[in-house]
Structure 1
Amino acid sequence: MRRWSATLALLGAAVLAVAAPERIATYSPGATRTLVDFGAADKIVAATRWCPLPATHPAARDCDVFNPDLERLLRAKPDLVILPRTSNPLWAERCRGAGLKVLVLAPESETCVLADIRLIGEALGRSPEQIQRLNQTLERIPALLPRKLLIIWDGMMAGPDSYLSLPMRGAGFKSALKKGSWVKFDWETLAHVEPDVILWVESTPLDGPIVFSAKRKDEMSQVSLVKGLKCLNAALIFETTSGSQWLPGSGLAQVGLKFSELREKVR
């Protein structure tokens, strides 16, 4: 009986090993960072041009969730396709219809990145301990009472249900907005929520530091609706550039560290 049990255990381990993907196509730069942090960079055969991979990595850079090409994808022969939460559900169904295994990232929420890390880790066959170790880089307990931070990124404001709320909370911030994930920017809303700190984010290929923004402060000083805000008069107006670290994935741990540095500046 013990011999049979040992044999079955070995067979089970073999099945898990076979089930783990060897050729991954990723349409999410954030998920790509999580794959890298799980030590699975060598499994990636296709990625987006925004994915954080070295120039020497052999993966094709032709995954485009806004203009997907099934024939091109099939040529990469992936055994796992990772799609962002914002992808068209019909594209996921087309991939499944072609016989591909598809992982769609979790719906957006404050903790969706933790769910994404778990989904990707499980798909890779990683142990619960390995998954938890990576999640712990984001599950930080703030040492300071939260201050209201308003993040304005490409014309949208990050609310309490956005994935950015997790690293914000860990650094001692909370969204200045009362509800929602992403809200269209307007000056009236900015004035109404009265943030303690404002961070303007510009999308670029590279991540940058969070620095004081004289340009944004001067711009805001010309807007009558907001020129009386305390954060403006206290010069708590900052800016940064967002690369792949800012996208939903384990790279957010680095953004969390930047938030912590910012929190120390605005005590």
Structure 2
Amino acid sequence: MWDNRWNKLKRSIAVVSLSAALAAVMVGCGAKDKLEGQGEAAAPPKAGGGEVQAGNAAKKTVYPLKVTDATGKEFVFAKAPERIASVSPAETETLFALGLGDKIVGVSDFCDYPAEAKAKPKLGSIVKPNEEALIAAGADLVVTGVSMQTPAVEKLRGLKVNLFKLEPKTINDVIRNVRMMGQIFDRQEQAEKLAASMEADRKKVTDAVKDVAPEQKKKVFIEFSPGWTVGKGEFIDELITLSGGVNVASSEKGYVKISEEKIIAANPQVILYPKNLIDDQSKKTLDQIIRERSGWNQIEAVKSNKLAGVDKDTMSRPGPRITQALVEFAKGIYPERVK
């Protein structure tokens, strides 16, 4: 059941986000300053072929290609990897979006989008994959994302797993990573189309809210799982900001447990939550839990029924659908501006 899987994922996020080594689950360890948030080409790769005269952008990657991942490790690709594994749902979505589905030999237990991902061999969790299954997959390159931390990365590398880590913290990071993966896998044309679509989504939202005066910006509270919200420094907070809202938890950093009293005092005008998420213990939807909390009927968002459900996967995965989540956020905050 998804709800059980989501709560397992939630608990994994909570453990990682509260560790002493990390301020939040999305913060990378050991990355160079200029690489914070994503990997990047160590030296700009030369694209062979250039642009076709007819206007069709048909860039080809010239190998060998040097690329540095979010941990600061340099990779040299003699050719495009043929056998790919992904232990991160966001990165799995990117690989499929670039047309690489037939080259994927394994995915994490949480990789369920697109539908084809469900049929791929499963390699365990996003935090600590099944080592035997990962090795047996025989991938030329294994891609991981924000949930796997440095100790797990280094352990797998010690087992000769060729592990490439991405660590996006902003939409710009996600878009850059899409283009970088297009370079690595020689799918630059597909990557450019995807990046352009994501940039168009973002522009649609920012154009719609650009004339909202600072004093008119709505106060927003987001509860991404029961009892948890997010502060500064994470992409979910950026989604609120780009949507023209003010995150009432912005004084916090990373993923934090909510203080019910502080939320009541902050009096948000809009509450965002993952729709159709059912709490394991109470068997209630998250919006039911929010409405039934003691004293929360005083909050303006609850009184005026300004609770907006957003898709739980798009809002939690810094992948190619993250700008779809941005549009959903903006519709929830300013439905009169974003259609």
TM-score bracket for the superposition, by shorter chain length: 0.7 to 0.9
Q: Which runs of 5+ in 1 are unaligned?
A: 1-8, 206-211
Amino acid across the alignment from 2:320:
S
Counterpart of 2:83 in structure 1 is 23
Which of 80, 98, 114 is the equivalent residue of 2:159?
98
Deviations 1:67-125 (A, max 9, x none): 42222111111111112223132221233233332221216457543454344334324
Alpha carbons 1:139, 1:166 under 8 Å: kept = no
Counterpart of 2:324 in structure 1 is 254
SS, match of residue 153 in structure 1 = coil
Displacement after TM superposition at 1:41 (Å): 1.9
Q: Distance in 1 between matches of 2:276 and 2:166?
A: 21
- What percent identity do the matched residue pairs reach? 22
Task: Sort the Cα spacing of 1:33 and 1:21 in 2 relative to 1 into closer, same or farther, 3 A.
Answer: same
Q: Distance in 1 between matches of 2:64 and 2:153?
A: 26
Which of 271, 286, 303 is the equivalent residue of 1:198?
271
Alpha carbons 1:142, 1:170 under 8 Å: kept = no
Q: Distance in 2 between matches of 1:242 and 1:217?
A: 16
Deviates more, 1:120-129 or 1:28-37: 120-129
Deviations 1:122-173 (A, max 9, x none): 4324438457425415533242224222110222112232212343344333
Amino acid across the alignment from 1:232:
V
SS, match of residue 174 in structure 2 = helix
Deviates more, 1:174-183 or 1:130-139: 130-139
Q: Distance in 2 between matches of 1:119 and 1:203?
A: 34
Counterpart of 2:231 in structure 1 is 159
Counterpart of 1:13 in structure 2 is 62
Q: Distance in 1 between matches of 2:207 and 2:84?
A: 36
Counterpart of 1:176 in structure 2 is 248
Task: Sort the Cα spacing of 1:203 and 1:231 in 2 relative to 1 into closer, same or farther, 3 A.
Answer: closer
Amino acid across the alignment from 1:79:
D
Task: Sort the Cα spacing of 1:126 and 1:186 in 2 relative to 1 into closer, same or farther, 3 A.
Answer: same
Q: Aligned Cα RMSD in Å?
A: 3.3
SS, match of residue 86 in structure 1 = coil
TM-score normalised per structure 1: 0.76
SS, match of residue 139 in structure 1 = helix
Where has structure 1 moved over 6 Å in runs of 4 or more? none
Q: Distance in 1 between matches of 2:292 and 2:108?
A: 35
Task: Sort the Cα spacing of 1:53 and 1:228 in 2 relative to 1 into closer, same or farther, 3 A.
Answer: closer
Counterpart of 2:144 in structure 1 is 83
Number of aligned pairs? Answer: 249
Task: Sort the Cα spacing of 1:217 and 1:76 in 2 relative to 1 into closer, same or farther, 3 A.
Answer: closer
